[in-house]
Amino acid sequence: MSTSEFQDRRTSRLWQREVAERLVAGHGVIVAEYFEAGCTRLRAWADRPQASRLLAALEDPDRGFDAIVVGEYERGFCGDQFVRMAPLFERLGVQVWLPEAGGRVDMARPAHEALVVMLGARSDLEIRRVRHRVIGAMRAQTYDQGRYLGGRPPYGYRLVDGGPHPNRAHARWGRRLQRLAPDPATAPHVRWIFTERLAGRSIAGIARELNERAVPCPSSADADRNPHRSGEAWTLITVAKILENPRYTGRQVWNRVANDREHPHPTSGRPAQRANDREDWVISANIAHTALVSEADFLLAQARRAARPTADGSVRRYHLSGLLVCGVCRRRLESHWVHGRAGYRCRHGYTSARSRPADAPRNVYLREDHLVDVIVEQLVRERHHVGVEPAQVAAYLLDNRLTVTCDAHGVGLRLVPVV
Q: pLDDT digit string (tens) for 159-216?
A: 999 988 888 888 888 889 999 999 999 999 999 999 999 888 888 889 889 999 999 9
What residue spans in the chain does CATH classification 3.40.50 cover? Answer: 9-130
Query: Does residue 230 have a pLDDT over 80?
Result: no
Average pLDDT over residues 318-346: 83
Task: Indicate the burial class of 276 (C-beta count within 10 angstroms; 0-12, 13-18, 19 or more).
Answer: middle
Q: Report the pLDDT value the prediction gives residue 418, as an integer from 0 to 100.
A: 44
User: Considering the entire predicted model, what is its pTM?
Assistant: 0.62
pLDDT in tens, 270-300: 666 777 887 888 999 999 999 999 999 998 8
CA 270 – CA 248 distance, rounded (Å): 27
pLDDT category of residue 142 using cuts at 50, 70 and 90:
very high
Lowest-pLDDT range, 71-80, 145-154, 318-327, 410-419?
Answer: 410-419
Average pLDDT over residues 136-162: 93
- Share the mean pLDDT of the chain: 84
List the one residue out of 95, 26, 23, 112 whose CA is nearest residue 58: 95
Query: Does residue 108 have a pLDDT over 80?
Result: yes
CATH of 9-130, one of 3.30.43, 3.40.50, 2.40.50, 3.30.750: 3.40.50
